[in-house]
Amino acid sequence: MYNFDEIIDRRHTNAMNTDGFRSYIFHADDSMTFPYKDEEFIRMWVADMEFATPDVVIDGIRERLDKRIFGYTRVFEKSYFDAFAAWCKRRYDWTFEREELVMSNGVIPALYELVDYITKPDEKVLFLTPSYAYFKYAADVNHRDYVCSDLLYEDGRYSIDFEDFEKKAADEKTTIFIFCNPHNPSGRVWKEEELKKLAEIIEKNNLWVISDEIHCDLLRKDQQHIPLGKVMPTYQCLVTAMTPSKTFNLAGMMISNILIRDEELKEIWLNRHYNFDHPLSIAAAQAAYEKGYDWVEALRDYLDENFRFTKEYLAEHLPKAKFHISEATYLAWVDLNEYFEPDEHLPMFFAYKAGVLLEGGNMFVQHSDGFIRLNLACPKSVLAEGLKRICEAVNTKHTEKYLGE
């Protein structure tokens, strides 16, 4: 019914994925060359998908296009809230008030603004590491210090170091916690007991918390997302960010839902935020929430299979790689420490030696040396080629090293 095997040409669409890797991964310009042509790379880096957005979303955009006027626009209609709220009720059995909803043209811009609105200059931002680097940047751009709590990593599995987290949360200058639920890059889906323990520490220390739940729809089929807001139903200093952008491959549409409970903060947001939305983005998001459920379920089946295949392939061809199937996200987080020195620049190695673009542990703030992150949201044929190239490059390196000695 849906064709996730289709290979779609993304050239000449101004895609970050095809055209932005030099600047994003390598901080380089067009003069950087590789033994591969750009179109020969297998691209497994930035977190968008190689799949077409579903037809129901494209139809929603088309219907809006047919209305022909694209003047100043803002989510006014209750039907948008109803679609989003019904989605959250159905998927996470979670409800919230319409008054809490404001819109942002992305989760990242919202993080940047919220850290500014919430914290004073001498206050610190706390997050769990490894971390999506923009959590750190949210502190950096606002000239705030940041504090990391490393996740525990045991037998290839991640968990929160509650003792460490509590110690850091207790610093009175640490006033805001940016939480990734589910977690990028480890793919952890935080379980109810974990969320409750976290909630207890947050409350005890009166921390502000932004729960970034951008990956909340793309869980393995045996997993269930629990919004932090569901575990902390009355806590006012909680902001939740959700968006159809990861779920439906709409990142370029730049629309996200921000739920702000605290009235004072919401007032600040409404006064300082640029409160306009893109008409086509609203149409896309609303159509996704209203009509995209079945597509997401089919996508999840496809991703589950890509993860199963990856696990099997790595076990056979890179037996010393540590990898557990991510509970959420379409991102595989693979520990290659048995094969590389911790300071090896892994994105550079795989770009040059394998023709694969991927993100390395060096891009996730700290506590992530020797890891690679692979985007599995691609046709299985592309994934198979990417994994083959990755494994061959690592195994060749080892043979060369062995022969060299």
Q: Which is nearer to ligand LCS, 119 or 375 (CB)?
A: 375
* Residue 182 Rama label (left phi>0; alpha psi -120 to 50; beta): beta
Q: Which is nearer to ligand LCS, 274 or 402 (CB)?
A: 274
The least distance separating ligand LCS from the CB of residue 67, rounded to whole angstroms, comes to 26
Contact between 303 and ligand LCS by CB under 6 A: the answer reads no
Whole-angstrom Cα distance, residue 309 to residue 42?
Answer: 17
Contact between 282 and ligand LCS by CB under 6 A: the answer reads no
Q: Which is nearer to ligand LCS, 256 or 362 (CB)?
A: 256
Whole-angstrom Cα distance, residue 17 to residue 218?
Answer: 20
Binding mask 116-145 for ligand LCS (x = CB under 6 A): ----------------x-------------
**List 42, 47, 210, 314, residue binding ligand LCS (CB under 6 A):** 47
b vs e for 363-387, b when ≥16 Cβ sit within 10 Å of the residue's Cβ? bbbebbbbbbbbbbbbbeebbbebb
CB-CB contact of 125 with 119 (8 Å) = yes
The least distance separating ligand LCS from the CB of residue 108, rounded to whole angstroms, comes to 3
**List 180, 189, 258, 332, residue binding ligand LCS (CB under 6 A):** 180
Whole-angstrom Cα distance, residue 72 to residue 371?
Answer: 45
Contact between 216 and ligand LCS by CB under 6 A: the answer reads no
CB-CB contact of 329 with 359 (8 Å) = no
Token output for 54: 């579903």
CB-CB contact of 45 with 265 (8 Å) = no
Q: Which stretch binds ligand LCS (CB under 6 A): 61-69, 89-97, 115-123, 243-251?
A: 243-251
The least distance separating ligand LCS from the CB of residue 212, rounded to whole angstroms, comes to 5
**List 149, 175, 245, 306, residue binding ligand LCS (CB under 6 A):** 245
CB-CB contact of 182 with 225 (8 Å) = yes
Q: Name the residue among 152, 169, 215, 155 with its Cα closest to residue 189.
A: 215
Q: Name the residue among 353, 348, 361, 341 with its Cα closest to residue 389.
A: 353
Contact between 237 and ligand LCS by CB under 6 A: the answer reads no
The least distance separating ligand LCS from the CB of residue 192, rounded to whole angstroms, comes to 21
Length of the chain: 405
Q: Name the residue among 241, 210, 228 with its Cα closest to residue 92.
A: 228
What is the separation, in whole angstroms, between the first and last Cα of the chain? 54
Binding mask 371-390 for ligand LCS (x = CB under 6 A): --------------------
Q: Residue type at 301?
A: D
**List 123, 150, 212, 277, residue binding ligand LCS (CB under 6 A):** 212
CB-CB contact of 355 with 40 (8 Å) = yes
Q: Which is nearer to ligand LCS, 132 or 289 (CB)?
A: 132
Q: Which is nearer to ligand LCS, 60 or 106 (CB)?
A: 106
By rule CB under 6 A, what count of residues binds ligand LCS? Answer: 14
Whole-angstrom Cα distance, residue 266 to residue 110?
Answer: 12
The least distance separating ligand LCS from the CB of residue 351, rounded to whole angstroms, comes to 16
Distances (CA, A) of 129 to 171, 187, 386: 18, 13, 27
The least distance separating ligand LCS from the CB of residue 112, rounded to whole angstroms, comes to 9
Residue with nearest beta carbon to ligand LCS: 106
The least distance separating ligand LCS from the CB of residue 251, rounded to whole angstroms, comes to 5
Contact between 286 and ligand LCS by CB under 6 A: the answer reads no
DSSP designation for 53: P
Binding mask 316-355 for ligand LCS (x = CB under 6 A): ----------------------------------------
Place of tokens 């007032």: 267
Contact between 25 and ligand LCS by CB under 6 A: the answer reads no
Q: Which is nearer to ligand LCS, 27 or 167 (CB)?
A: 27
Binding residues vs ligand LCS (CB under 6 A): 46-47, 106-108, 132, 180, 184, 212, 214, 243, 245, 251, 256
